[in-house]
Structure 1
Amino acid sequence: MPRLNVIVASTRPGRVGRRIGDWFTEVATRHGAFDDVRLVDLAEVALPFHNEPHHPSEGRYVYRHTRRWSETTAAADAFVFVMPEYNYGFNAPLKNAIDYLYREWQHKPVGFVSYGMTSGGLRAVQMIKQVVTTLKMVPVNEAVTIFLRQALDESGALIPDAGRDAAADVMLDEIARLSAALSTLRVPA
């Protein structure tokens, strides 16, 4: 039963990321390629700035928050990062969450639902691809890009958009294919 973790990267008060994460989780559940779709909100995970004394590749975690994060991440077969763009890059809480772990990310596909005001988060996605490939993750080219000026109504709610839903479905198709193809590499030797 493949599991998809939808990781909401923004942790700041007043963020729109959780609303986008909720929307994407509904779309992914409806899509049906993954039997288990979990929303993982980094604001709720509440990882402190990386404080483990050992290198993540050793997997020797001292703190309970790291062990919980490791279990949540290791259980997933694929990921979607719901991520904002801050100053032409990805945000620090997402990088911090990634840096806590090593083996838990390996040989798993990752998709991106990015959002921002002027580029829809595309610059942040390009930057984070360097990070995820170093961890042996496989980023998919298909993505969902949300331009907030057009995507939110006056109350800040996400406006329904059939094109955005279709882009999510195409990305989920590719993530599911890659998850199945990479599954043999995730089996412990």
Structure 2
Amino acid sequence: MFARILTIFFVALGCLFTNGLHSAQAVKYSNGQTAKAGDVLISKKSLDNYFVGHAAIVGGDGATAVEVYKGRSTVKSSKLSDWFKKQDGGYNVMRYKNSSIATGAGYWASYNVGAKYNYRIVSSSALRDWKDLYCSKFVYQAFYFSGGVKLKILGDQAEMWEYPPTSNWVINPNLMVVMENFTRIK
């Protein structure tokens, strides 16, 4: 509990002091929309054999993609422009309706760059646990730990499913194009 409070404190502190510092380096998506911290990037290109697709999140600076994927053991950050090039134009962007929570999620992701993880999709590890991590679980954690958001994602039979943090349900990145309280901006 103390670690969660400390993380939220540092995320909030980062939001207060760096929110306007990076406006000169605004990054635009291919449709002209400006990237913002906490935007969820969903690629049609897979970095794994299990999923078709990949998820990342725009970091607190609004100019980086923060992600986890198979073949790495630490959270990675790269320039958004480099991330776009790898996608061959095949990506969607989802933006959370509450910009403060979205910004906090971006800063939480950036705060965890370099953190070690064990890449595993199917696991007994709950969505809130760091033990076993994969791309869309990392994005889930960014929103959960920065703003208490439990993502609701399109499930079977076109129903919205809330993914409880204590569950070990697998989140398919391609289903993240339909999430409650998110708007598709690209």
TM (norm. structure 2) is: 0.26
Larger helix proportion of the pair:
1
Larger Rg: 1
Q: TM-score, normalised on structure 1? A: 0.26
